[in-house]
Amino acid sequence: MKYLFAFALLVLASQVRAQSSDETTIRTIYDEALARGKSYEMLEYLTTKIGSRLSGSPGAAASVEWTRHIMQNFDFDSVWLQPVMVPHWERGQQEVGRVLNSKKMGTVDLNVCALGNSIGTGPEGITGSVVEVKNFDDLKRLGEKNIKGKIVFFNRPMDPTQIQTFTAYGGAVNQRGGGASEAAKYGAVGVIVRSMGINPEDYPHTGSLGYAPNVPKIPAIAVSTKHADLLSNLLKNDAGLQFYFETHCQIFSDAPSFNVVGQINGSEYKDEIIVVGGHLDSWDLAQGAHDDGTGCVQSIEVLRIFKAMGYKPKRTIRAVMFMNEENGLRGGTEYAAQSASKKENHIAAVESDRGGFTPRGFTLSGTDAAKAKIRSWKNLFEPYGLTDFGQEGGGADISPLAPQGTTLIGFLPDSQRYFSYHHTPEDTFDKVDKRELELGAASMAAMIYLIDMHGLK
């Protein structure tokens, strides 16, 4: 009996030493990020010198070369470009949205923008009466006789009572993604969609739509939340008012581009790969700071921190800048396909694509054993303000790795301000706080350190 007791004491002492070592290393990670971090200066260059980076654009091409250069300068063990063909959509000149003949206000200009991947109206524009709906069931109820030849106005707000803003987004975004094709089934000639924002705002939010096969393609625009409310009120007073909108967007042939990959080789289990990444592309309305410049520079910073500390990982760690998350997910899909063809073993992937705000925790998707092991480290993160490890999820770009059995982890910052900037002209460098950004990079590095040290089995 006394031998069992002694053995238990040895195991406990070993666990205490491991815990103490992890605490010390994580403290060093945070010290490096907060005192000597490079993420903020990287973000400044990416957003203010290169700017918007929609796939297929000159900005996207410039960001690929700059990212490769940065990772080479940090002396990662290897840096390479992974070719991928991406959609090429261009917005063209400024959109016009105008109420023509309301009884209450006459002609009124509204703040609108084309939805990504939408066809354009051309210079002649589209004019028609407006049918307001909340959802696809409303379309079905109204039917072709009430919709054909008209412009459908989807006006379902994001639910402001949801504490998790991504839940509110998920409850509204299908009208943006599928509204044009659903309305076209009933003969609509165009679509207006309430912007995906919670607050009353003057500026519209863009974002991608998808056209269903074998359904006519019709032009689609987003309207600012304030002007969505205005249009709805005008329709209550005059159901017959006419609306005009004009867009000049075009879809071109797919364009060549790249994912950018930087790697630190593993010393013990080099065939086990841990990925950390964000998407390098952004919408064209602004600088793509929170979506997803922050995720890219945080991911590069993870590897830089390890190099600066002199940390030699057991497993291979990769930073991947994925191209074309916004309107195609081609980069994430291609990365996973190449990984599968090479029979690579990705044990975990971490993505930052919720902005560079204060860290709150991580979302998790994987086996029960892997999730339980990650949650057992919660006490190591609590001193740094990370307490939420209970939500499912990973990230769009890393999701194609799921069939390979990869544990998917999403960096989870505070989300309350995210949808004030998401896909808007307001997503600029000045909206990012340096300390919040650095805390996020350190949190991601700490997670990857723990996975590297202890594995997930």
Which tens digit of pLDDT belongs to each residue from 278-321?
999 999 999 999 999 999 999 999 999 999 999 999 999 999 99
Q: What percent of the chain has a predicted confidence (pLDDT) above 70?
A: 96
Does the pLDDT value for residue 188 go beyond 70? yes
Cα separation values, 260 from 64, 65, 285, 323, 331, Å:
7, 9, 23, 8, 10
DSSP three-state, residue 25: helix
Average pLDDT of 217-237? 97
Buried-state track 155-194, b at ≥16 Cβ within 10 A, e below 16: bbbbeeeeeebbebbeebbebbbbbbbbbbebbbbbbbbb
Does the pLDDT value for residue 5 go beyond 80? no
Is residue 392 part of the annotated active site? The answer reads no
Which pair of tokens denotes residue 75?
Answer: 């002396």
Q: What strand order describes the sheet that includes 151-154?
A: 106-109, 96-102, 242-246, 126-133, 151-154, 190-194, 220-223, 112-114
CA distance 259 to 337: 13
Average pLDDT of 404-411? 98
Q: By C-alpha distance, which of 396, 397, 393 is closest to 374?
A: 393
Average pLDDT score, the chain: 95
Does the pLDDT value for residue 417 go beyond 50? yes
- pLDDT value for 15: 52
- pLDDT value for 339: 98
CA distance 348 to 345: 9
CA distance 352 to 133: 34
Q: Quick count: other Cβ atoms within 10 Å of Cβ 238?
A: 16
Average pLDDT of 403-419? 97
Sign of the Cα torsion 231, 237, 238, 239 reads positive
CA distance 218 to 224: 20
- pLDDT value for 39: 98
Q: Tell me which amino acid residue 3 is.
A: Y
Average pLDDT of 409-418? 97
Q: Dihedral, CA atoms, 361, 362, 363, 366, nearest 10 degrees? A: -140
Residue of 44, 301, 325, 334 marked active site: 325
The more confident residue out of 181 and 17 is 181
Does the pLDDT value for residue 436 go beyond 90? yes
Supply the DSSP string of 357-413, one letter for each residue.
--EEEEEEES-HHHHHHHHTTHHHHGGGT--B---B---TTTGGGGGGT-EEEEEEE
Does the pLDDT value for residue 127 go beyond 90? yes
- pLDDT value for 225: 98
Would you call the peptide bond into 433 cis, given omega within 30 degrees of 0 as the criterion? no
- pLDDT value for 105: 85
The answer to whether the CB of 159 falls within 8 A of the CB of 168 is yes
Does the pLDDT value for residue 157 go beyond 80? yes
Tens of pLDDT, residue by residue over 64-85, are: 999 999 999 999 999 999 999 9
Tens of pLDDT, residue by residue over 92-117, are: 999 999 999 878 888 999 999 999 99
